[in-house]
Structure 1
């Protein structure tokens, strides 16, 4: 049974002011209802005025996705009950959106290149936010600070065939948006997803307001399993809207699915048509992820996997280019395989890491002043200092203070002999031809030497000691 997935992605554009008024969009550290005015509250007599920067950002995204910008687009009123939208309607684009017919390239589940078609992108205003208060009397409060924030809605065709493909698409789209500089992915609620999913031949279900990339994969995985189980039992899948309960990892029924006519769209009489198609040719795009990935492989000679990882975040790509010149391969290995893992473990951003200190660490590794194991210890000490807000110490100073400078394996013969003596079973396994036994003994020696010796050289010394009868 084939899974069919299409997505509707709502992206908060990083403009300084709201879509139709001059209220600041930088509201997250301020009190509720402090970034409001008669326009975004929909008070009688107020008139909207379109934010030029939001339109420019929309055109930038449309060009990056290779879309056709309509000669004329317009705004409509979407009449629907939003508890957190004071006007009781939303200003959006309906029949004539900003742009149509685009593409994004991703990998399918077999690792092959795949095109996901973009149906349309259009501008609309964000509703406010409900704050649910629990207690003896359950009630909700409304914060209108978010009401009127510019949203760019990006709608795909149902071209994805698994939750994993949907997540890869979102990661690729997020990266493109970050390269364009049109949104801030670190902000809460900056990207929200409505996912449409069906099993081929059955009804489509919409899962609303998923707020994370992992959440999209989890919600779709649960929903695909739920729908398949219904069909296996001979039941039908209801066409409906469901909510994803992230804490429980399930979807729950919210209401029957609305059709377009339920929203009673009609042209907004206070906003004229937009004619901006002639501006697209003059837009200069930055180097986008796919182009940068290809350049990294050609210019630096790094692997496809490393290039994909390093260009998946523009800040990480910039960081790599700063540390790469002396030894691009070594820099790619440490940035993509080691540094990124350490940052994820600490929930740190690459922006918190001083690139010059990493260059100094790579220089020590390149000169074989320290081993890889010692290098990881040094890196961890530097990152821990950054995470705690302390000055990042020079790698050479950490090496000196902790005694991590590389030593020759001959300096550790006594330790090797002691480890061999305390692990007779591993010695017997080695003599019996079990390959893992040598690695185990070398690992024990590495622990005792705190990573100061080269593992390959230790392997030679361990083998020689055992062959000479060192038990």
Structure 2
């Protein structure tokens, strides 16, 4: 039994896919030149007034409904006061005491065990700018393009008990955002990032321990590694009888460890007060109901449908529905050729491997759903072998060439001429008399050796079913 129980709560910041910022008309496009997407409003010039972006509110409401939050009919924007060079106004417009939505939940699965993680609140806020530190110039620069970009902050209850659960929660949350098409989920660009609050308490105790907050984790792997390290660090301190210091920490990727950044601020340190330039946000219940009815099929529901409709194993259905583009690719492939289990195997295995190797998303690849279906069909019809299909798949993935053309141009049609195959089988058996005798003496695993020899001779084009049939007959 573990001496300590881990308690984790996550604060996720999701950048909304609006075309303009939350309180002004500046573009939210990523990758522009420094300070190009700025204006007097987002730069905090005297005398300017913020105007709330309705689309950002709509996106926030969609997320709240998707995770079963209670939408508050009245929410208030507040000024969160702190000084930092990339915060031009000297405060961040956020929500505090009266957020957009509260008391939601999200379901996760770790090692086939389901669990519900509570969501404390969802509130809207503006992003800060970005500080760029140059050791070459011995200077720091500020880019305010990101200032004022709309964010949703999604705060979980302290219901998470392990790094694996934290990652599962984040993946589920990101999946919902992607299905709703309100956030691109790009962790490298910072449009989906999180802060993790973590503490340990003796197993069986109700009272929470002193927590540390790990800031700005921008990949699932970093979340996992940072939390694993922090559990080890805090456990060692407690074992030595030392107190945990409440503080903010950063994860050092190169060293694989967290390090102290500053003492943890409490909420009152920010001196929140309602923003006098923004009236309370009053949400029309009819609008909420309209958005609720228009919600798309979400990942959890789609996964259950895939299991039922296509008779897929749950792990495969979970992979296929992890991203909307992947699920759409699967269903389009099945529509072109109704063999869901076979198509699922190709996507979960070969396609996912290619995506991981290349770092591409489904929308970026040359391979189309009907082309994958065509490859599966050609195997079923005996036109190509399963081994050759791997070669065809790689070629189509890389070039987008139609599978039939790849097979024709490269001469990859499966050899199914029984007389030709029989001649090859006879030659292989004649060339390996010792192996033939060992097979007849009971070493049946040598069947794979004989098949391999014929496949080698035919460069993988021999019909494997016919080869096995001929070998079985001749080795009796």
TM > 0.5 fold call: yes
Cα deviation 1:103-151 (Å, max 9, x = unaligned): 111113x41111011000000010001111013x532100000010000
**d(CA) in 2 for partners of 1:453, 1:248:** 52
Corresponding position: 1:195 with 2:196: yes
Structure 2 vs 1, CA of residues 233 and 277 (structure 1 numbering), >3 Å: closer, same or farther? farther
What SS does the aligned partner of 1:34 have?
Answer: coil
In structure 2, the partner of 1:116 is 117
In structure 2, the partner of 1:410 is 422
Corresponding position: 1:361 with 2:375: yes
**Matched ranges for 1:58-457 at <5 A:** 58-108=60-110, 110-135=111-136, 138-186=138-186, 188-201=189-202, 202-276=209-283, 278=285, 279-283=287-291, 284-325=294-335, 326=337, 327-351=339-363, 352=365, 353-385=367-399, 392-408=400-416, 410=422, 412-413=424-425, 416-417=428-429, 420=432, 438-439=447-448, 442-443=451-452, 445-455=454-464, 457=466
In structure 2, the partner of 1:2 is 5
What SS does the aligned partner of 1:446 have?
Answer: helix
**d(CA) in 1 for partners of 2:248, 2:438:** 61
How many residues were matched structurally?
455
What SS does the aligned partner of 1:238 have?
Answer: coil
Q: Alignment RMSD, CA only?
A: 2.3
Cα deviation 1:46-85 (Å, max 9, x = unaligned): 1111111100100000000110011211011111122211
Post-superposition offset of 1:31 = 0.7
Post-superposition offset of 1:461 = 5.0
Post-superposition offset of 1:462 = 5.3
Post-superposition offset of 1:440 = 5.4
Gaps of 5+ in 1: 386-391
**d(CA) in 1 for partners of 2:438, 2:109:** 44
**d(CA) in 2 for partners of 1:226, 1:165:** 19
**d(CA) in 2 for partners of 1:433, 1:88:** 82
Structure 2 vs 1, CA of residues 442 and 34 (structure 1 numbering), >3 Å: closer, same or farther? same
Post-superposition offset of 1:309 = 1.3
Structure 2 vs 1, CA of residues 131 and 365 (structure 1 numbering), >3 Å: closer, same or farther? same
In structure 2, the partner of 1:388 is none
**d(CA) in 2 for partners of 1:444, 1:198:** 60
Structure 2 vs 1, CA of residues 432 and 160 (structure 1 numbering), >3 Å: closer, same or farther? farther
**d(CA) in 1 for partners of 2:437, 2:47:** 89
Cα deviation 1:307-328 (Å, max 9, x = unaligned): 2111111011111111103222
**d(CA) in 2 for partners of 1:299, 1:53:** 35
In structure 2, the partner of 1:57 is 59
Structure 2 vs 1, CA of residues 104 and 398 (structure 1 numbering), >3 Å: closer, same or farther? same
In structure 2, the partner of 1:389 is none
What SS does the aligned partner of 1:11 have?
Answer: strand
Structure 2 vs 1, CA of residues 420 and 124 (structure 1 numbering), >3 Å: closer, same or farther? farther
Alpha-carbon contact 1:6-1:160 (below 8 Å) kept? yes
In structure 1, the partner of 2:43 is 41
Structure 2 vs 1, CA of residues 367 and 463 (structure 1 numbering), >3 Å: closer, same or farther? closer
Alpha-carbon contact 2:454-2:462 (below 8 Å) kept? no
Alpha-carbon contact 1:48-1:271 (below 8 Å) kept? yes
In structure 1, the partner of 2:205 is none
Instruction: Give the stretch that moved more between structures: 409-418 or 61-70.
Output: 409-418
What SS does the aligned partner of 2:13 have?
Answer: strand
**d(CA) in 2 for partners of 1:79, 1:46:** 18
What SS does the aligned partner of 2:140 have?
Answer: strand
Post-superposition offset of 1:381 = 0.8
Instruction: Give the stretch that moved more between structures: 179-188 or 190-199.
Output: 179-188
Cα deviation 1:172-203 (Å, max 9, x = unaligned): 11111111010112471110110111122432
**d(CA) in 2 for partners of 1:250, 1:323:** 44
What SS does the aligned partner of 1:270 have?
Answer: coil
Post-superposition offset of 1:411 = 5.6
What SS does the aligned partner of 2:227 have?
Answer: helix
